[in-house]
Amino acid sequence: MSLKDQITEDMKTAMRAKDSERLGTIRLLLAAMKQREVDERITLDDAAVVAIVDKLIKQRKDSITAFEGAGRQDLADKEKAELAVLQAYLPARMSADEVASAVQAIVAELGAKGAGDMGKVMGVVKTRLAGKAEMGQVSAAVKAALAG
């Protein structure tokens, strides 16, 4: 079963259970997926769905930070609940050591040296580790690998 089908099934389950908060978040995700399919005239594969989930998670994290800074804990809690639902659709994340070793292998493969090659390395790393690792963590690992 594809990730897209799984999300659709989870929406049906949430409807039957009358879980309105979970249902709202899943509908938001499905709307974002549909929007991308219509805009680009494509059918999303699992990697594209994970990218959309990643984007929505980043938006939630940014919103949580902003709401907590403004003293709106009620809105921050709502965003945290949505974040928990969305994170269930991500594949298992790589550990920091796994990210570092994957980045080292890619740097060696490309023969990259110094900060000037960061863009080239990040391009390859993003395609290989998309959805498997937090991109902020990946970026730090690339900087460390190129500095050494």
Q: Residue type for 81, please?
A: A
Q: Give the residue range(s) of CATH 1.10.1510.10 domains in the chain.
A: 3-87
Q: Integer distance in angstroms from the first to the last C-alpha of the chain?
A: 43
Cβ-based neighbours of 88, under 8 Å, separated by 6 or more: none
Residue 32 has pLDDT above 70, yes or no: yes
Condensed to tens digits (0 to 9), the pLDDT of residues 45-95 reads 888 888 899 899 999 999 999 999 999 999 999 999 999 999 998 887 777
pLDDT at 127: 76
Average pLDDT, the chain: 86
What CATH homologous superfamily does 3-87 map to? Answer: Uncharacterised protein YqeY/AIM41, N-terminal domain (1.10.1510.10)
Long-range Cβ pairs for the range 141-144 (8 Å, 24+):
141/96, 141/99, 141/100, 141/103, 142/103, 142/107, 142/118, 143/115, 143/118, 144/100
Q: Give me the CATH code for the 96-147 domain, please.
A: 1.10.10.410
Query: CA-to-CA distance for 126 and 138, rounded, in angstroms?
Result: 8
The dihedrals phi and psi of 122, each to the nearest 5 degrees, come to -60, -35
Query: CA-to-CA distance for 136 and 146, rounded, in angstroms?
Result: 16
Which position has the higher pLDDT, 62 or 109?
Answer: 62
pLDDT at 120: 77
Q: Give the residue range(s) of CATH 1.10.10.410 domains in the chain.
A: 96-147
Which position has the higher pLDDT, 62 or 116?
Answer: 62
Please, which pLDDT band fits residue 109 given cuts at 50, 70 and 90?
confident
